[in-house]
Structure 1
Amino acid sequence: MTPDFVIGFARQAIETTLMIALPMLGVGMLVGVTVSIIQAATQIQEMTLTIVPKIISIFLVLLFAFPWIMNKMINFTTQIFINLPNYIG
């Protein structure tokens, strides 16, 4: 194992992790900004008004994106197991 291989492998793992997390993080951010703008406009500063819509929206995105997420994770894991003899040798 060369340092270049380890860096490339770590880069691929981080990219996969970010790709999987991106839908939930993006929707959570958009909902948070939208609720914050509405709170600023109406001057309603209730904390549950911020948390509940984020939780619901992130759960819904996770529900719809789950097949895609599982496909990405299975492909990454399959590639690791297929190339395992190359990594050891």
Structure 2
Amino acid sequence: MTEDTDAVPVWLVERTYSDDEQNLIILVYATTDGERYLRKERALTSFSDVRDTTAGLLADPENLGWTSEEDRERYASEAQRMAEEHELDDVI
């Protein structure tokens, strides 16, 4: 994505390992109000495959989904915590 004034900051709220597929990490980033989220899947191809995970990202609004009501409060709380403690590009 190019520098876009419409980009939305999202913060890491969840990191899980897929039960269905080996070596698949699922990263979920959300807005601080918890209403929108971005899901990224990362396949690790070997034990030496190391890629940084950042505290946040600038996301294209077209790539954001709407959270369910059951996740919204939890995502908002975690996104707000991450935003207070980290810069977007902090490696965590």
State whether TM-score is above 0.5.
no
Larger relative contact order, structure 1 or 2 (CA cutoff 8 Å, min sep 6): 1
TM-score (norm 1): 0.27
Higher strand share: 2
Larger Rg: 1
